[in-house]
Structure 1
Amino acid sequence: MFSSTKAGFFREPTQFEQFQWSPLKYVTRALYHILSTLRTPPKPVDDAIRIVCISDTHNSTPPIPDGDVLIHAGDLTENGTLSELQAQIDWLSSLPHTHKVAIAGNHDTYLDPLSRPTLAVEDRTGSLDWKGINYLQSTSLTLTFPSHGNRALNVYGAPHVPLCGGSSFAFQYPRHLDHWTETIPSDTNILVTHSPPRNYRDNPHALPSGVGCAGLLRALWRVKPRLHVFGHVHAGAGRNYVGWDAGQVAYDRVAMKKHGGFREVLSLEAWRDLVCVAIFGLKGILTTGAWAGERKVTVLVNAATYYDGTNLDHSEKEVQVVLL
């Protein structure tokens, strides 16, 4: 049912196409997003820490709001050269945020020893001055905030993405492999990856299974961080709140299924998942405090600040700010 000529990384299929490919999946996804939007966002704690999230700047220097923490989720550059990277680092270093965290993305070629040989000879050697920016590459750090009651946040960052291009792209792994099992510490408060998890702020129509990573989604269910910042899929910029309840299980089950065409209307399991998403979504709206009954809520932020809808016409996206 899926045709890659109909939908790619940069062209969202029409609503009718999506309905044709998978009517119950289309209705379930639409219902989930409507009900999630109607739920009141979790209330931040008093004296909240202000976290500014950006990604996919691709050499640009958009206006950045003030905050306590600045997180860059990769693709600082377009061509991944040493000079491009240092220019982005210099720009980030000039910003006033107390803590700064950055990871690489698939365009940041120099930072991956495996992709670095694809650069011109003059771009393969040299060093970077990170100027106090915390660069994470499958590593963790703890940020402390004396001005916020000595609160601390554990941050884990990793640049890896499912295979999406040629050898000049960095930090790729075969799409069928699970790169994330047991790699993310269980006490992580803020997770920073370049790849989105499957189903969330992803482009589910860019490939038969979407651009995001299913293994990363499974890791999210295990760790349940308070905040997950990512990018990579420019068109997915924005945020979601995930409450990790039975309705979420049903939504993920539906979203992971292949397009079934109109024959899926005969599936009792598909109807059961649709009803489950509806019940838990309505419960979340009607419950006092909206998300208050959830054991944990994760804010998912696709922080891409660049959108290339035609690969030529570039425009800036709104910078996401999260209070924790």
Structure 2
Amino acid sequence: MKIAHISDTHGCQPNLLWSPTCSNQAQATGLDLLINKFGDIDVLVHSGDFMAHSLCENELKNFIEWFDSLPFKHKILVPGNHDILCEEFQNKPEQRDKFFPKGMHLLINESVEIDGIKFWGSPYTPWFHDWGFQLHQHEAETLWPKIPDDVDVLITHGPAKGILDDLYAENKEDPRISSVGCPFLLKRINELDTLKAHLFGHIHGGYGRSEQNGYVALNSAIMNERYAPDNLPQYLEITK
């Protein structure tokens, strides 16, 4: 299965990531590059912070329209802390039907299986200034054990402790503030024997790829720490 991953687009997605009329490889950006290099991609995953203004319904509708238009057979969406408007969808499936078309999988502490590959997604991150989908310590200790034992691809908005989770100071000459990921998420990940990939964002300074822990970890935050779109989407291929 071929998977493309993006995160933390913060309202800047349309021209940034997909140019359907682009035929010049030198001018291709973002998802164009992945398609040009790898051909047809089965699943597109966005792991949150797709909104810029959090509570703007029109912004959410515009994003979903754009996301739905992309040329991928399957699309998975996990909200982030900036996507506060999506909190109402957690326990109100009837509200989801108003916004999300069939074939677009919104995951809020839930799973979906595609072609035999099990995905599980959660938008929750450690509490920080009372944004959306925030967890206090005791809540994190309760939530993460709910990740299924047989998950193949884990999608969370934020990183696990110590894995692509370094937060940089605004001034690049300042020392980095290291390892701000969730330790309770890391504990659960270390118990998952079938895990093939963990996809996340949230910590813009942690953008990158790691294969040091027996699975592929991708932080695909498109925005850098200054909210400039400096980073490209990432790609992985997995088998059952």
Aligned equivalents of 1:52, 1:304: Cα separation in 2:
13
Aligned equivalents of 2:142, 2:124: Cα separation in 1:
8
Conserved 8 A contact 2:45-2:77 = yes
Q: Is residue 106 of structure 2 the alignment partner of residue 106 of structure 1?
A: no
| Amino acid paired to 1:129 | F
Question: What per-residue deviation string (whole Å, max 9, x for no partner) do you get for residues 75-132 of structure 1?
Answer: 1101122211111111111111111101100000111149xxxxxxxxxxx9413352
Match of 2:38 in 1: none
Match of 1:211 in 2: 180
| Amino acid paired to 2:103 | G
Aligned equivalents of 1:234, 1:204: Cα separation in 2:
7
Match of 2:67 in 1: 92
RMSD (Å), alpha carbons? 2.4
Question: Aligned with 1:87: secondary structure?
Answer: helix
Q: Please, which of 100, 104, 116 is the counterpart of residue 133 of structure 1?
A: 104
TM-superposed deviation, 1:210: 3.5
Conserved 8 A contact 1:179-1:215 = no
TM-superposed deviation, 1:216: 0.4
Conserved 8 A contact 2:167-2:205 = no
| Amino acid paired to 1:233 | I
Question: What per-residue deviation string (whole Å, max 9, x for no partner) do you get for residues 214-272 of structure 1?
Answer: 000001101141000000001111110133xxxxxxxxxxxxxxxxxxxxxxxxxxxxx
Question: Aligned with 2:114: secondary structure?
Answer: strand
Q: Is residue 16 of structure 2 the alignment partner of residue 54 of structure 1?
A: no
Q: Please, which of 203, 209, 233 is the counterpart of residue 239 of structure 1?
A: 209
Aligned equivalents of 1:184, 1:79: Cα separation in 2:
29
Distance 1:304 1:204, change over 3 A: closer
Q: Please, which of 100, 118, 127 is the counterpart of residue 163 of structure 1?
A: 127
Aligned equivalents of 1:105, 1:221: Cα separation in 2:
23
Aligned equivalents of 2:105, 2:150: Cα separation in 1:
19
Aligned equivalents of 2:168, 2:188: Cα separation in 1:
22
TM-superposed deviation, 1:179: 4.3
Distance 1:93 1:191, change over 3 A: same
Q: Is residue 120 of structure 2 the alignment partner of residue 153 of structure 1?
A: no
Aligned equivalents of 2:177, 2:223: Cα separation in 1:
24
Q: Which structure has more RCO (C-alpha within 8 Å, separation ≥ 6)?
A: 1
Question: Aligned with 1:235: secondary structure?
Answer: helix
Conserved 8 A contact 2:160-2:181 = yes
Distance 1:236 1:68, change over 3 A: same
Distance 1:91 1:131, change over 3 A: farther
Q: Is residue 47 of structure 2 the alignment partner of residue 77 of structure 1?
A: no
- Structure 1: tracts of 5 or more residues without a match: 1-48, 115-125, 145-151, 244-296
Question: What per-residue deviation string (whole Å, max 9, x for no partner) do you get for residues 121-168 of structure 1?
Answer: xxxxx9413352111110011001xxxxxxx100000100001123xx
Conserved 8 A contact 1:68-1:99 = yes
Q: Is residue 42 of structure 2 the alignment partner of residue 68 of structure 1?
A: yes
Distance 1:164 1:141, change over 3 A: same
Conserved 8 A contact 2:204-2:222 = yes
Match of 2:189 in 1: 220
Quote the sequence identity (%).
31
Conserved 8 A contact 2:167-2:206 = no
Conserved 8 A contact 2:163-2:179 = no
Alignment of 1:1-324 (within 5 A): 49-61=1-13, 62-63=16-17, 64=31, 65-66=34-35, 67-80=41-54, 81-113=56-88, 127-144=98-115, 152-166=116-130, 169-175=131-137, 177-203=140-166, 210-224=179-193, 225-243=195-213, 297-309=214-226, 314-324=228-238
Q: TM-score, normalised by structure 1?
A: 0.58
